[in-house]
Homo-oligomer: A and B are copies of this chain.
Amino acid sequence: MRAAIIGGTGYSAVELIRLLQHHPYVELETVISHSTAGSEMDSIYPHLTNIIDRPLTALNIDSLSEEVDVIFFATPSGVSKEILPKFLENGLTCIDLSGDFRLKSQTVYEKWYKKSAAEQKHLDSAVYGLSEIYQTAIKEAKLIANPGCYPTATLLALIPVLQHNLIDCDSIIVDAKSGVSGAGRGLSLGSHYSEVNENLKAYKLGKHQHIPEIEQILNQQSGKTSPITFTTHLVPMTRGIMATIYASLNTPVKTGDIIDLYQDYYQDHPFIRICKEGIIPTTKEVYGSNYCDIGVLADERTGRLTIVSVIDNLVKGASGQAIQNLNIMNGWDVQTGLEYIPLYP
């Protein structure tokens, strides 16, 4: 299968390149970049020297449609909604890592993204690529809306207890923390080393565009309309997301029973690892890998459940899950090309 990446100088793109390099069934044909077309890849990313010896190219929709079978969009929000539909028309498979096709409602998109939305028919046909949950739909999809990094960590942690009706949907609070690579390679004071190092910052309180994405799925799973409280923090590290999630238990349950429930729920899903009782995962345990590790505590004192979920934001939170979805779409083993052991230390 021949693939292309559009948006080739961002961190998600460079992570796609790393992961696709050893994928046995995919050949990366071309990397498209609007801003740096013509440059050699290794002049922009020296770590790719002697590995990817090819120039970045400009976008030509028609010729690209001839050359490849699948396109990964690693573009900022607002870009793929303009160009992706043309590739769909040309019969290509599209996996969009941006937020353009994740929300089903144009109104909601426009409210949270402050941009005009994609066409409704494409929002309708897009399949939300949370691999472990929507694999049946993913198999049939032509357009995958690859989930955001925070929603991936949050939803994989919440859906099992929500489906089992163990928690009160109206009580969900997500305190999420991310490494700085989630903010991308674009320059800003908020990613400037001396401002971020030895600093911890909460940002976009009540305004993060991942809020409606999480709520859309939670509401679909629970059948209710419950707003969540969701806070994001920037942690002085490059990779990793942790979601610490709080919810009231509907009835008293023991931690061990909840762990059993998660293990059952995810037993056929090799990328989800459930921690034993008393163990809470750390972000470094999944560094550079496609794993999502989940630990839980049901606290008798408070009647609340605490769930801690960790991923590598660039792998399971972006490029790894995109490839996982491609594997599912093609009927390949879900781990194909993704058997990376976490880098430790």
Q: Please tell me if the beta carbons of B242 and A202 are within 8 angstroms of each other in the complex.
A: yes
The docked-state distance in angstroms from the alpha carbon of A47 to that of B11 is 23
Q: A132 in the interface, Cβ–Cβ < 8 Å?
A: no
Contact flag A177-B200 (CB < 8 Å), given A47-B341, A342-B47, A345-B238:
yes
Contact flag A284-B341 (CB < 8 Å), given A50-B270, A302-B229:
no
Q: Please tell me if the beta carbons of A51 and B231 are within 8 angstroms of each other in the complex.
A: no
Q: A325 in the interface, Cβ–Cβ < 8 Å?
A: no
Contact flag A192-B202 (CB < 8 Å), given A244-B175, A279-B46, A301-B227:
no
CB distance from A273 to the nearest CB of B (A): 5
Q: Please tell me if the beta carbons of A344 and B206 are within 8 angstroms of each other in the complex.
A: no
A278: nearest residue on chain B (CB-CB)?
B205
Q: Please tell me if the beta carbons of B345 and A49 are within 8 angstroms of each other in the complex.
A: no
Q: Please tell me if the beta carbons of A341 and B237 are within 8 angstroms of each other in the complex.
A: no
Q: A203 in the interface, Cβ–Cβ < 8 Å?
A: yes
Q: Which residues of chain B are within 8 angstroms of A339 by Cβ–Cβ distance? A: 21-22
Q: A54 in the interface, Cβ–Cβ < 8 Å?
A: no
Q: Please tell me if the beta carbons of B201 and A197 are within 8 angstroms of each other in the complex.
A: no
A49: nearest residue on chain B (CB-CB)?
B273
Q: Which of A188-208 contact B (CB under 8 A)?
A: 188-189, 191-203, 205-206
Q: Which residues of chain B are within 8 angstroms of A275 by Cβ–Cβ distance? A: 46, 49
| Interface pick from A29-37, A72-80, A179-187, A326-334 | A179-187
| Interface pick from A118-126, A144-152, A156-164, A285-293 | A285-293
Q: Please tell me if the beta carbons of A282 and B200 are within 8 angstroms of each other in the complex.
A: yes
Could you mark each residue 119-148 of chain A with 1 if its beta carbon is under 8 Å from any beta carbon of chain B, else 0? 000000000000000000000000000000
> Which one, B21, B308, B341, B342, contacts A341 given CB within 8 A?
B21
Q: A239 in the interface, Cβ–Cβ < 8 Å?
A: yes
Contact flag A205-B297 (CB < 8 Å), given A181-B194, A231-B244:
yes
Q: Which residues of chain B are within 8 angstroms of A286 by Cβ–Cβ distance? A: 47
The docked-state distance in angstroms from the alpha carbon of A237 to that of B194 is 8
Of A22, A193, A246, A286, most buried by chain B (CB within 10 Å of CB) is A193
Q: Which residues of chain B are within 8 angstroms of A253 by Cβ–Cβ distance? A: none
> Which one, B11, B297, B345, contacts A345 given CB within 8 A?
B11
Contact flag A195-B345 (CB < 8 Å), given A201-B282, A202-B308:
yes
Q: A261 in the interface, Cβ–Cβ < 8 Å?
A: no
Contact flag A306-B206 (CB < 8 Å), given A198-B240, A240-B199:
yes
Q: Which of A85-102 contact B (CB under 8 A)?
A: none
Q: Which residues of chain B are within 8 angstroms of A228 by Cβ–Cβ distance? A: 302
Q: Which residues of chain B are within 8 angstroms of A117 by Cβ–Cβ distance? A: none
The docked-state distance in angstroms from the alpha carbon of A195 to that of B44 is 12
Q: Which of A6-38 contact B (CB under 8 A)?
A: 11, 14, 17-18, 21-22
Q: A316 in the interface, Cβ–Cβ < 8 Å?
A: no
Q: Which residues of chain B are within 8 angstroms of A343 by Cβ–Cβ distance? A: 18, 288, 343
The docked-state distance in angstroms from the alpha carbon of A175 to that of B48 is 26
With A200-B282, A229-B302 already in contact, 18 other A-B pairs whose C-beta atoms are closer than 8 Å: A11-B345, A21-B339, A47-B287, A49-B275, A49-B285, A50-B273, A177-B177, A181-B345, A185-B195, A197-B238, A198-B198, A199-B283, A199-B284, A200-B242, A202-B295, A206-B306, A246-B246, A343-B343
